[in-house]
Amino acid sequence: MEKLIYEKPVISKINAGMPSKFGLPVKQKIISEIDGLAISDLMEKFGSPVFVFSEKTIRETYSEAKRAFETRYPKVQFAWSYKTNYLDAICSIFHEEGSWAEVVSGFEFNKALSLGVNGSQILFNGPEKSEADLTLAIENNASIHIDHFDELYLLIETARKLNKKARVSIRINLDAGIYPIWDRFGFNYENGEAWNAINRIMLADNLELIGLHTHIGTYIMVGSAYAIAASKLANLYVAIHRKFDYWLKYIDLGGGFASKNTLKGAYMPGTETCPSFDDYAEAITNALISSEIPHENLPLLFLETGRAMIDDAGYLLTTTLANKRLNNGKNSLVIDAGVNLLFTSFWYNLGIFPSKETSSFTEETTIYGPLCMNIDVIRDTIVFPQIKVGDQLVIERVGAYNVSQWMQFINYRPNVVLIDLEGKTHIIRKRENLETFKSLEFNPKL
Amino acid sequence: MIITEEIKISDNGFVFNSRTGDSFNLNPFGLNIIKLIAEKKEFEQIKEKVLDEYDISDLTFEKDFYEFCALLKHHQIILQDNPLEFK
Ligand SMILES: Cc1ncc(COP(=O)(O)O)c(C=O)c1O
């Protein structure tokens, strides 16, 4: 006799008055493959957990963003925000697509140079630039985005020593209706600080002001905030021409477009609420085109889009280690990927899906990582089907900020794999091993 | 294991506890198991029947069965012994 398919016995409480999908048969989304490659094959070959990136998705997302802006505005240039994901292979794809580099440290600057990026196509942001970093940037003809007055004076001094001219822009913080205002970065627009800095720069012989920069924040869900920011920068752009009879070359509106991930506490899923590239492009380009800037002097528009460009292309594949009932009767799972690998789990309810068909019975479940720490919660509450030990799960939209902000803790950081356009797999960052650590440590007791 | 008197179980897996006013859903296999428990079958008997009919290993079923019983106790559907008597 053929045996029946087993499903473990479960009882779940019905919460009267509280709408809940509890116990109802919902169609569970499944991710069984990425770009045609089976999850089980990828994990057999590259271990668990493993990050997987799709080159196809990266290029498609880039084209979509580029098209949204280029169809509305004459001069657009993306600069890849290195901190979002600075694995060489990922950066190289963006550079192949035509992106410049947006960096915030000497390390990132050198990484961009090592990938063959011309120094004049590097935008150097951030509050952390040492004299050595500034020297590197001046020597390579990069655009240095000045963050504060101390940096401005250090830069004047450094350029003097080198007897070279530095190409600069200033970072401006402004009220775009997004709170809190990120006023710790750059010079303020509303109180006149930005205008003062511009005047000081225009007086310095060895600085050439070529652009204006702002980055109003991250995961900005309204295009209108960018419209406000663009108009304010356009005002300065025109004021500089009025006073100095000189047109700058560019306006850089930074990053900050939302990705389709769902923020913690959000009522609606990110896939429903996230504006499209077209929405952002419409707001930004309208603001610039309808500003006082004459059409023939419109600036080159830079965008440093990070998370919206790469989140969708990254997946983390993970294995179920245990099933546990909590004391309150709630179901929980332990998986082999912790919050140390998933920095973005602190602000998103990441999408986690089984990789094969499951039972239709679902219940509220907490998903824990394997770290011996209470904070290691990947999903506090998710309506989830029954999962067995060994079952493989897929966490989607983890392309941004995880493989740059991950922490090594308790175990090695895993392989990162790229699926190229032909469907071939490449390890683009090797799993760490004991030797990785031994090679950096010195033990005076041995 | 004794299911308390106040518990009503319907054939479609709906459970009502008239003492606490709580109601519950059982998945189909949960319903099978609770019926066997209601018939006062012991674990060994239940296991034998399940292993006979379903594609499942004895250890997995044992773990799932006791997890299910813990849930039933938690929801006051079966009587809880004093856990500190260590019987
Ligand atoms: C100056 C600057 N540009 C670009 C970015 C990328 O931002 P996002 O990933 O929100 O697009 C950041 C991120 O913090 C940033 O600080």
What is the Å distance from ligand 1's center to A405 Cα?
14
CATH assignment at residue B41 = 1.10.10
Residue where a domain stops, chosen among A278, A311, A344: A311
pLDDT, mean of residues B36-63: 92
Instruction: Kindly state the percentage of chain A with pLDDT values over 70.
Output: 97
pLDDT value at position A40? 98
- For residues A102 and A234, membership in a common domain is answered with yes
Q: What is this structure's pTM?
A: 0.90
Tokens of A194: 């930005």
CB contact under 8 A, B34 and A11: yes
> Is the Cβ–Cβ distance between A234 and A251 less than 8 Å?
yes
Residue where a domain stops, chosen among A286, A311, A336: A311
User: Per-residue pLDDT for B58 more than 60?
Assistant: yes
Tokens of B68: 């299910």
> Is the Cβ–Cβ distance between A7 and B29 less than 8 Å?
yes
A23 in any annotated domain: no
CB atoms within 10 A of CB A235: 15
- DSSP 3-state of A387: coil
The interface predicted TM-score (ipTM) is: 0.88
Ligand 1 atom showing the smallest separation from residue A308 Cα = 11
- DSSP 3-state of A433: coil
pLDDT value at position B87? 64
Total domains present in chain B: 1
CB contact under 8 A, A11 and B65: no
Distance from CA of A321 to the nearest CA of B (A): 14
- For residues A296 and A189, membership in a common domain is answered with yes
> Is the Cβ–Cβ distance between A385 and A354 less than 8 Å?
yes
- Chain B residues near residue A325 by CB distance under 8 angstroms: 67, 70-71
Does residue A10 belong to the interface with chain B, where contact is any CB pair within 8 Å? yes
Q: Give residue-wise pLDDT tens across range A339-376.
A: 999 999 999 999 999 999 988 788 899 999 999 899 99
The rounded distance, in Å, linking the Cα atoms of A399 and A423 is 18
Q: Using CA positions, which residue lies closest to atom 12 of ligand 1?
A: A255
pLDDT value at position A197? 95
| Domain residue limits at A126 | 55-311
Residue where a domain stops, chosen among A311, A327, A344: A311
> Is the Cβ–Cβ distance between A186 and A209 less than 8 Å?
no
Burial class (CB in 10 A: 0-12, 13-18, 19+), B38: middle
The rounded distance, in Å, linking the Cα atoms of A83 and A104 is 8
B87 in any annotated domain: no
Residue A120's nearest CA partner among A249, A299, A283, A305 is: A249
B85 in any annotated domain: no
Q: What is the distance of C-alpha A127 from the center of its chain?
A: 19
| Domain residue limits at B43 | 2-79
Q: Per DSSP, what are the bridge partners of residue A382?
A: A365
Which residue ranges of chain A lie beneath pLDDT 70?
A: 15-26
Does residue A5 belong to the interface with chain B, where contact is any CB pair within 8 Å? yes
> Is the Cβ–Cβ distance between A56 and A75 less than 8 Å?
no
- To the nearest whole number, what is the mean pLDDT of chain A? 94
- DSSP 3-state of A138: helix
The rounded distance, in Å, linking the Cα atoms of A212 and A217 is 16
Beta strands (DSSP E) in A66-117 are 76-81, 100-103
User: Per-residue pLDDT for B5 more than 90?
Assistant: no
